[in-house]
Amino acid sequence: MAEAERLTGMLLTGIKIVSLCINTPGPVAASRLASLGAQVTKVEPPTGDPVKTYAPEWYAALTKRQTIVTLDVKNPSDRAKLDDMLSQSDLLLTSSRPSALRRLNLGWESVHARHPKLCFVGIIGYPPPLEEKSGHDLTYLAEAGLVTPPEMPPSLFVDLAGAERCVSQALALLLNLARTGNAGSAMVSLYECAQELAAPISAGLTPKGKLLGGGFPLYGLYQASDGWVAMAALEPRFAERVLLEFNLPHADHAEFVRIFRQRSALAWETWASERDIPIVAVRGIAGA
């Protein structure tokens, strides 16, 4: 396992990436690419990355494999330093509005004209023609029907999904560059990522009472003697094992409610692990 992890961390050895991204999606994507072996330079404005203030430990974790450079890209001398970095790089990551990038001559067209071998991935909120519309994780989730007021989402789901989409687009562009010698560009829309996160709802899988929304007794949440457990015995082999262990002829929600009340959540988790059954204790939100 250690050898496999070591090799994974070398997959992008020799690839140089410049990231102009702050906040969440871009830096998470850059961190992932760095973990795959890419040499990542994170260019921050003089004001820094807000995440360093809001979540310093996470910021440190995200940037530990990267070189951090502070540049004011509006300053001619700093801009010259950035262009020098871009001339030696394989990929540029951005997360600014297209209009802002155009004003700085950092949009795809102008960057490609100056650096024809440089790939480009831009993170935007909405797809064209709404690419200038403002938004953040919360608003994208709300539009996709993934918010239940007054509760706030427990994580930045769209930002993290957008980061993974950014990584996959970056890898596809780098592969094409290696195969053909042609650099390309891609835009990652966070709004579209949110809509894809909501696809299981539209497909009728996860709404309340549907198959994965509480309608299938073997896939759900049950109260234990001191907390809750999550059971996901979807595959037939897991379902058969649960029914055999509980001595039940068929999946019965009421019976599961009765049975799970008899032990603590962690006791059920240990019991299930010994029998290779997907049941775990529900934890509190990390850091809460």
Identify the DSSP state of 285: P
Residues of the chain below pLDDT 50: 288
**How far apart, in whole angstroms, are the C-alpha atoms of residue 246 and residue 231?**
13
For residues 45 and 186, membership in a common domain is answered with yes
- The per-residue pLDDT for 288 is 46
- pLDDT of amino acid 3: 66
Q: State whether 223 and 195 are in the same domain.
A: no
* Angle subtended at Cα 158 by Cα 106 and Cα 215, rounded to the nearest 5 degrees: 160
Same domain, 108 and 228: no
Give a yes or no: residue 120 inside a domain.
Answer: yes
Kindly give the pairing relationship between strand 16-19 and strand 91-94.
parallel
- Asked if the structure places residue 70 within a domain, the reply is yes
Query: pLDDT (tens digit, 9 = 90+) per residue, 68-126?
Result: 999 999 999 999 999 999 999 999 999 999 999 999 999 999 999 999 999 999 999 99
- For position 98, which CATH number holds? 3.40.50.10540
Clarify whether residues 104 and 176 are in a common domain. Answer: yes
Residue 144 and residue 78 share a domain: yes
Domain count, the chain: 2
Look at the chain and count its residues.
288
> At 230, which CATH number?
3.30.1540.10
Task: Report residue 84 as tokens.
Answer: 């020098």
Domain containing residue 126: 2-200
**Which residues does residue 124 pair with via DSSP β-bridges, in sequence order?**
189
44, 69 contact by CB (below 8 A): yes
Please indicate, yes or no, whether residues 134 and 265 belong to a single structural domain of this protein. Answer: no
Read off the pTM: 0.91
One domain for residues 227 and 164: no
Domain ends where: 200, 227, 248? 200
- Identify whether 288 is part of a domain: no
Examine the domain organization and report whether 115 and 240 are in the same domain.
no
